[in-house]
A and B are shown apart, each in its own frame.
Chain A
């Protein structure tokens, strides 16, 4: 009973804070007669989002296509590299530092170069988003694959398990919670990567993604439309995170402590 009430309050509190914030914002804009090209109120932004829905939603789909393609590539690339690293300490030692370098170099600095070398803009965007997204999957999955309980390895030796069997029956399922943790981070990052790359590309050529629409609106001083694009991006990010949290729960809830309800 108390538990349920606590849960409801927990869910309502951020909603309440959001409503207060929006009301305060609208009041501030109206009371100070803020010009719309400096700070539009939430109602104006919502109206603009509605008016521009066709264009913005089309652009959102373009950005989403890049995001999910990059994420898929990150899962295959990051997961595949992690499995490769788990096969040999030498391979891991040789290549892991370069994965780190790729990760710590800001994507805004690399993106213009990639756009020069890769003719196809879509593909260039994909590469940028992939660079940002693959690292959390790689590092988490590598950690997971190496975190095997030594007793299980003894067990596998006792059963005379082959290398691939140890990987398939023991290391990969054991690494699943780590991989899913990486995936949750990578989902948001691939969206960020796609948007950053679109911004970089958008200053040079005409694009069609949501980031390009935001840039376009800023050239036209259509500030409400900029906000509308921003709102769409944030909502998309939240939805992606929620979707992966749900997938993670689906896979883990029957056995992993992070997702399972206490029964004792």
Chain B
């Protein structure tokens, strides 16, 4: 990689290996970076280590060898899991307030931030609801609001919409792009959906399994804001074909998409 991309990297994984305690080699010789301000998707079949790579960036797991380097120190980061991971005994407000409560942010400062985060994900008015009263999509919105409330510079999302239906998913995709653009965030997004990654990202890293590594680095050169028109455009189809091809190659041509 040239010096220019190195300069704009927010975080770089260098020659990372990860061997699980049961001896499985999850990742070998992984190099990847997330550029400041970019929306980067990690796309690959299950078992390619994309989630593990994301967890290493978040500091939830450590590389066996290799390093995670922050160009300008570790920024505030938010993480969204595949499950909404909401505490059922806390209301929507209570769940979103939790990161601030733990960090000891005073109430007067916390309240406008919570209200703002809920507004951004379209949940104003649901503050007093309990998670069990919400649909899957709304729970995921709460989860995103909780990740945004700490005002992260980097938002990491581990297949956040995989369990949702198509309609809910594309609506959340639209809203996520809105949040990304208004907040000047960097997003690292793990997915196994070609269509989702092409729609959202300005860059896709295609990963292969056994052992996990990056096999293709594809820039999605299409302007934002992207909307339904983009979903049916020729550019979109063009990139879907390219990314699909790269993914098929990554899977060694053995597997169906």
A: residues with CB less than 8 A from B are: 149, 151-152, 154-161, 165, 169-170, 173-174, 176, 254-257, 260, 263
Whether A263 lies near B98 (C-beta < 8 A) is no
In the complex, number of A-B residue pairs with CB atoms less than 8 Å apart: 53
From the candidates B87, B102, B132, name the one contacting A161 in the complex (CB within 8 A).
B102
Contact status B132-A260, CB under 8 Å: yes
- The stretch from B9-17, B78-86, B213-221, B232-240 touching chain A is B78-86
Contact A255–B103 (Cβ < 8 Å): no
Whether A255 contacts B88 by the Cβ 8 Å rule is yes
Cβ–Cβ contact B60 & A255, under 8 A: no
Q: Inside 8 A of A263's CB, which chain B residues have their CB?
A: 133
Inter-chain contact A169/B132, CB cutoff 8 Å: no
- Contact A151:B89 (CB < 8 A) given known A159-B98, A169-B101, A260-B132: no
A135 to B112, CA, bound (A): 46
Q: Are A170 and B103 in contact (CB under 8 A)?
A: no
Report 26 cross-chain contacts, Cβ distance below 8 Å, ordered by A residue: A149-B85, A151-B81, A152-B87, A154-B60, A154-B79, A155-B79, A155-B85, A156-B102, A157-B60, A158-B60, A158-B77, A158-B79, A160-B103, A165-B102, A169-B87, A169-B101, A169-B102, A170-B87, A173-B87, A174-B87, A254-B89, A254-B130, A255-B130, A255-B131, A255-B132, A256-B89
The interface on chain B, measured as residues whose beta carbon lies within 8 A of the other chain's beta carbons, has a size of: 23
Chain B nearest CB: distance from A183 CB in Å? 17
B96 to chain A, nearest CB (A): 12
Contact of A176 among B58, B89, B98, B132 (CB under 8 A): B89
Residues from chain A with a CB closer than 8 A to the CB of B81 are 151, 154-155
Fill in one digit per residue for B86-117: 1 if any A CB lies within 8 Å of its CB, else 0: 01111000000011011100000000000000
**Given the known A-B contacts A151-B83, A151-B85, A173-B87, are A159 and B103 also in contact in the complex, defined by CB atoms under 8 Å?**
yes
A154 to B130 alpha-carbon distance, docked (Å): 22
User: Which of B58, B89, B131, B132 is close to A158, meaning CB atoms less than 8 Å apart?
Assistant: B58
With contacts A161-B102, A169-B101 taken as known, whether A152 is within 8 angstroms of B85 at the C-beta atoms is: yes
